[in-house]
Chain A
């Protein structure tokens, strides 16, 4: 029988199925960070249980950690306690662990793929909705809650209802200054933040195939912003090339064996999806958001929708959103002054993102009025930035590189955007207060972030 890529991987991981109930799904790898794991470890302790398969669990703190002076103790005692709790739990239960400052520490969704921990055909979970990132390797990866983290710690399984399948194809050639982030924001702007709820998405089409591995990670990362359980891309030569030689990737004979299996991981001809969506790459402009959820996006030169164009039932929420942002229905936002720029996060904190950003700002100067946070996704990315000399380019343009972590994406550390200020952010959520109470977030690509950083305004990178 013809199967989709999702079905092949999911079916290969079924342990049992409860009649008219969920699937008991075997999990190959779980990642844990400090925010969503303490209660799970505590639960394990109170049940008197050990971690069932400690070698399949990898932990690291990323959400709370400061992006300056990581060599010193964390100043915020509550953040410090949470990071210390992970430290204690990881050591006590004997799981893989990369503490703050460790050369392999960083944002968990950056670290997994870059070390060859996230591989095609795997099932992966983490108490974090952006676990969808790892699906770019050709895997089933999804975010779970803390109770489910406890289940995986105790049994290496989760209970999940089988999601429906959706294929989103983006065909054609991407325009100038249009990349993975723009594809994702475009799709979400078309289908909304609940558009893929209940579905597991496979991205396909030549525009998707043309993306680099890192671009694919960005695209799959944002799957959850359309409500999808996860997103995935069939592994191909781009994937295998990326994985080969990474520290935890299979080697030698094992590599050949795995590679032969990975090559079977694609949707069969004739396999049926519950839903199919098709978009044209040529229609996608460099994208920005204007509202308070990632679905409120548009091409950078577009006008915010008018109130009349919004569904009557949704108008109150729409107006509330624009009021928060300080924008007016129907207006353009290109050219508006901005205050902060953030490049980093599990969405855009990889080396290619910093290459793009650095190339754009090369020979230019950061605008005086802009505070810029340049935050590598991991120490490995930081190292590469320096090896490639991007640090010099950035320094010459007036940018300072900070230390890795989730940082201003959700502002659990000190990297908070003040109330009322506008931030052009390469992260994933523009929810009210996401980057600090009252902060106004405009989501965009590294290129738009770079253009905003040097002009001090929301600027089309093609026009600079």
Chain B
């Protein structure tokens, strides 16, 4: 996993509530056996019509929100209860594959949140008021930027200068800062696992 310390980027707004993982990546695109390529089908049925033509009203097809560089438009801002539904990690692969490094919302579904973190995508939970203000500022100026400072655990709306703290447990924070993943840690605990099995057999 890549290290994540701080990020300042323009954003892509998706002010819809309850964005479920079937919208993020529909089931018919789950048939791959690798993790690559899911970004092309991110929000497929909102993004393309049945003839595979881009739907111009969808935000990812709006030239205003097209990214011009890797560090641009890498924050997705979604409505509350983002990522509900299926446990498909393909949703996280699609979001990461498209180029998002951070998803901001006022509420995330549990499994999606874990999946995102396991793929180096940082879910940032802010208050509903702070989220509403971000959407309002984007409406005024689509080129506003947000800054995520993981060390300080703050999200700053650079249009207003206002910041809010976000929660992350210190273990996961360290994983992001160092670019570690869970499996390395678990593998280092094999003796504890065998000990557990002996005492709980």
Give A143 to B170 CA distance when docked, in angstroms: 24
Chain A binding site: helix, strand, loop or mixed by DSSP? Answer: loop
The stretch that binds B, out of A11-19, A252-260, A276-284, A375-383, is A11-19
Interface string of B180-201 (1 = CB under 8 A from A): 0111011101101100110010
From the candidates B108, B128, B169, name the one contacting A21 in the complex (CB within 8 A): B169
From the candidates B15, B31, B88, name the one contacting A78 in the complex (CB within 8 A): B31
A147 pairs with B118, CB closer than 8 A: yes
Q: A42-B33, A198-B110, A437-B45 are in contact. Are A193 and B28 (CB under 8 A)?
A: no
B107 pairs with A419, CB closer than 8 A: no
For residue A6, give the distance in angstroms from its CB to the closest CB of chain B: 15
Give A22 to B125 CA distance when docked, in angstroms: 18
Tell whether A115 is near chain B: CB-to-CB under 8 Å. no
Give A227 to B109 CA distance when docked, in angstroms: 6
Which of chain B's residues have a CB closer than 8 A to the CB of A18?
171
- In the complex, the chain B residue whose C-beta lies closest to that of A419 is B50
Tell whether A85 is near chain B: CB-to-CB under 8 Å. yes
A21 pairs with B172, CB closer than 8 A: yes
- In the complex, the chain B residue whose C-beta lies closest to that of A160 is B114
Which of chain B's residues have a CB closer than 8 A to the CB of A143?
87, 111
Interface string of B24-36 (1 = CB under 8 A from A): 0011101111110
- In the complex, the chain B residue whose C-beta lies closest to that of A434 is B22
Q: A151-B182, A154-B187, A155-B190 are in contact. Are A20 and B15 (CB under 8 A)?
A: no
A431 pairs with B186, CB closer than 8 A: no
B89 pairs with A293, CB closer than 8 A: no
The total of chain B residues at the interface (CB under 8 A) is: 56
The A-B contact count (CB < 8 A) is 186
Tell whether B39 is near chain A: CB-to-CB under 8 Å. no
Which of chain A's residues have a CB closer than 8 A to the CB of B123?
none
A144 pairs with B50, CB closer than 8 A: no
- In the complex, the chain A residue whose C-beta lies closest to that of B45 is A433
Give A78 to B84 CA distance when docked, in angstroms: 26
Tell whether A39 is near chain B: CB-to-CB under 8 Å. yes
Q: A145-B87, A293-B84, A316-B15 are in contact. Are A411 and B170 (CB under 8 A)?
A: no
Q: Count chain A CB atoms within 10 A of each CB in B28, B110, B111, B172 and give the residue with the most.
A: B110
Tell whether B97 is near chain A: CB-to-CB under 8 Å. no
Which of chain A's residues have a CB closer than 8 A to the CB of B27?
63, 410-412, 434
Tell whether A36 is near chain B: CB-to-CB under 8 Å. yes
Tell whether A156 is near chain B: CB-to-CB under 8 Å. yes
Q: A419-B50, A438-B50 are in contact. Are A15 and B189 (CB under 8 A)?
A: yes
Which of chain A's residues have a CB closer than 8 A to the CB of B185?
159
A39 pairs with B170, CB closer than 8 A: no
Tell whether B139 is near chain A: CB-to-CB under 8 Å. no
Tell whether A64 is near chain B: CB-to-CB under 8 Å. yes
A15 pairs with B18, CB closer than 8 A: no
For residue B147, give the distance in angstroms from its CB to the closest CB of chain A: 25
Tell whether A313 is near chain B: CB-to-CB under 8 Å. yes
- In the complex, the chain B residue whose C-beta lies closest to that of A80 is B31
Interface string of B104-143 (1 = CB under 8 A from A): 0001111100110011000000001000100000000000
Tell whether A309 is near chain B: CB-to-CB under 8 Å. no
B192 pairs with A15, CB closer than 8 A: yes
From the candidates B20, B86, B181, B193, name the one contacting A157 in the complex (CB within 8 A): B193
A155 pairs with B110, CB closer than 8 A: no
Which of chain B's residues have a CB closer than 8 A to the CB of A78?
31-32
For residue B44, give the distance in angstroms from its CB to the closest CB of chain A: 9
For residue B54, give the distance in angstroms from its CB to the closest CB of chain A: 15
- In the complex, the chain A residue whose C-beta lies closest to that of B23 is A432
Give A203 to B184 CA distance when docked, in angstroms: 36
Beyond A229-B110, A314-B17, 14 extra complex contacts between A and B, CB < 8 Å: A24-B186, A35-B30, A82-B31, A144-B111, A147-B89, A151-B182, A155-B193, A157-B193, A193-B20, A193-B84, A194-B109, A197-B109, A295-B18, A316-B15
21 residue pairs from A and B, CB less than 8 Å apart = A16-B189, A19-B171, A22-B169, A26-B197, A47-B183, A85-B33, A129-B87, A145-B88, A148-B182, A155-B183, A159-B186, A160-B114, A161-B169, A194-B80, A197-B110, A227-B81, A227-B109, A313-B128, A317-B79, A320-B16, A419-B50
Give B residues with C-beta under 8 Å from A: 15-18, 20, 22-23, 26-28, 30-35, 45, 50, 79-81, 84-89, 92, 107-111, 114-115, 118-119, 128, 132, 169-172, 181-183, 185-187, 189-190, 192-193, 196-197, 200
Give A residues with C-beta under 8 Å from B: 12-13, 15-16, 18-22, 24, 26, 35-36, 38-39, 42-43, 47, 49, 52, 63-64, 78-79, 81-82, 85, 127-129, 131, 143-148, 150-151, 154-157, 159-161, 163, 192-194, 197-198, 224, 227, 229, 293, 295, 313-314, 316-317, 320, 410-412, 419, 429, 431-434, 437-438
